[in-house]
Amino acid sequence: MNDLPYSGVVSVFNSHRKQKSIHIGELHASREPTVIYTLLGSCVAVCIFDLEARVGGMNHILLPGKPIYRGFDIATSYGINAMELLINRIMGLGGDRSRLLAKVFGGAHLLPSISKENGVGEKNILCALEFLDKESIRVISQDLGGYQPRKIFFRTDTGEVLLKRVPTTIQPKLIQEEQKLLKRIEQEINRPASVVLFK
């Protein structure tokens, strides 16, 4: 991982590679050399890759655990789903589970009205790390917690990550985006389920 100034570094990092931006609840994996990038607040991004096969991918986790509402259309916002789907996608592209390595980022504490221990960032961190430990996927680099948003650039073919800490002026927008999606999830969960009658 490189925690370096932006000046000139991003252009070199991204040169001659396809680029893909992912947002909350999304994931992407590729066999073609690609730079996947995302902006993180309390969310966590896990970069998983197989250096021998030169396959890798990243997810963007909003919530820990797994959804209790099966029909929700962005179930990949949840940690366990996002992890399982990313691993399966990488293996489907030729990655070998026994060779997978991980780098984990994010989980900042952005809401001072909530204690750090009860914040979603801390819970996302624990969810991701516990999952990787249980699945015996080695974490070789991490930058987690703290109070600042991060922008992450991940090279799928080499596993390299460029991290930039984002000025706190962007925090309100990030918090608003995360809260909006959390509200949508809550509405979906509380919506009455449809009834099917079997005769």
How far apart are alpha carbons 96 and 181 in whole angstroms?
34
Q: Is there a catalytic annotation at residue 43?
A: yes
Q: Cα 142 from chain centroid? A: 12
Out of 35, 36, 43, 144, the active site residue is 43
59 to each of 11, 28, 125, 132, how far by Cα in Å?
A: 23, 7, 13, 13
Helix or strand run (H / E) with residue 143: strand 138-144
| Longest CA span, the chain | 67
Q: Which residues are catalytic?
A: 43
